[in-house]
Amino acid sequence: MKIQLTIAVIFFAGAFSCKAQENDMYKTANIFLNVLTAKQKAQTQYPFDSSERYFWHYVPLNNRKGISMNELNEQQKNAAIQLLKSALSEKGYQKASAIMALENVLKVIENRQESDHYRDRGKYYFTIFGEPSKTTIWGWRLDGHHLSFSFSSDENKLVSGTPGFMGSNPAVVLIGPEKGLEILKEENELALELLHSLNDEQLKKTIINATAPGDILTVNSRKAMIENVAGLSYSALTAEQKAMFIKLLSVYIHRYTRLFADRMMKNIEAASMDKLLFAWAGSKENGPGNERYYRIQGPTIIIEYDNTQNNGNHVHTVIRDLKNDFGGDELLEHYKKSH
C-alpha cells in the first residue's frame, strides 16, 4: 500500500516539470550575487547563523531586509527569477509569479493612486544566508506580501524549503479584467471535494469548530505548533477518499521541485501516513462569503489553509516542516561547529 501511494503522488506530480535541478541552486545563487553591485550584495547577504534568517511575514511591510525587485535592473531581476525557479516546480513558480502580480489588481480594487506603493509587485525581497557552494551550508529567502519561502542547503542538497507561504487577496477576483482569476483554486476545490465525500461519522471527527479561525494558527512563528491535535485520521478514509487526500497533499508538496517533493513525501510516509489528520472549521460551502479553514497535520508536517478575511475571499496557506523548518536545529549546530 505504501509503495502504491508513493507511485500515486509521483504520477500526480507528472503534471509538473522542473527544468532546473536542485544541484544548480548554488550556481543560480552565485550568478545572482555576482550581478549585484558591492553595495547591493552587502544589503543582500547575511551569515547563515544570523537571527534575520528566522524572520518572515506575509503581510505588507516596509522594513524587510534583503534586496527588493524594485531595486534590481533587468539583468539582476532575471537572475533573481532564475533562483526562484531553481527551488520551485513550474506550477509552484507560476503561482508565486501570479501572487506577486496580484498586487497590481489589489491596488486597483482598493482605488489607490499610482504614487501609492503600499501594494507593489516589486516589494518582494531576496536574501542570501551564508556562501552558496557545493560543500557549504547556506540558504536563501524570498519574502513579501502573501509570498514567503525559506530554503536551506547542505553539501549541495536542499534540506528545507519551509516555512513556505502562499496567499491570495482576493481569493477570487470579482471585478475588472482579471475577473474569475483564482490562483489557489486547487487548494480550495480539492479540499472541498474531500470534505463532501465524508459520511456523518467521519464529519464528526473532521469538523473541529463551526467557526473558522481568523488566520492560520501557526502565523509567522519561529517554531510551528498546534497543540490541540484533532481531526480525521488518514486510516479512517476509504480507498477513494485516500486518493483525494493524496491529491490534495500533493498540491502543496509539489510547489517544490520534484526531487525535493519526493524526499518530503518519503519523510511523511516514514512517519506513517495513518498519523496524518484532516481537520476542518467553518463553512462547508464554496465561494466568497463562506469563511472556512482546514489543515493537514502529522508528525513531520503541518499544512494550513484559511479563507476568512474579506468575507471569505482572502486566502492564506502555509507548509511547515516540523523537523526541518529553516533547515532545522541540527543543521544550524553543524554550521556553528564548522565555523
pLDDT for the residue 28: 97
Read out DSSP for 77-139?
A: HHHHHHHHHHHB-HHHHHHHHHHHHHHHHHHHHTT--TT--SS-TT-EEEEEES--SSSSEEE
What the block records as the C-alpha cell of 333 is: 549546530
> 289 in helix, strand or coil?
coil
Q: What is the pLDDT of residues 117-150, one digit of tens each?
A: 999 999 999 999 999 999 999 999 999 999 999 9
Q: In the predicted model, what is the mean pLDDT of the chain? A: 93
Query: Can you name the residues that pair with 166 across neighbouring β-strands?
Result: 147, 317
Higher model confidence: residue 270 or residue 10? Answer: 270
Measured CA to CA, the distance from residue 94 to residue 273 in angstroms comes to 29
Indicate the burial class of 144 (C-beta count within 10 angstroms; 0-12, 13-18, 19 or more). buried
> What totals of helices (H) and strands (E) does the chain contain, helices first?
11, 13
Task: Count up the domains in the chain and report the number.
Answer: 1
pLDDT for the residue 152: 97
Confidence of residue 49 (pLDDT cuts 50, 70, 90): very high
Maximum mean pLDDT: which of 12-26, 295-309, 324-338 = 295-309
| pTM higher than the cut 0.75 | yes
Residue 18 pLDDT greater than 60, yes or no? no
Confidence of residue 10 (pLDDT cuts 50, 70, 90): very low
Q: What is the pLDDT of residues 20-40, one digit of tens each?
A: 456 689 999 999 999 999 999
Q: What is the pLDDT of residues 89-105, one digit of tens each?
A: 999 999 999 999 999 99
Q: What is the mean pLDDT of residues 114-119?
A: 92
pLDDT for the residue 22: 61
Q: What is the pLDDT of residues 206-263, one digit of tens each?
A: 999 999 999 999 999 999 999 889 999 999 999 999 999 999 999 999 999 999 999 9
Residue range(s) defining the domain that contains residue 21: 2-338
- Do 314 and 183 form a contact (C-beta atoms < 8 A)? no
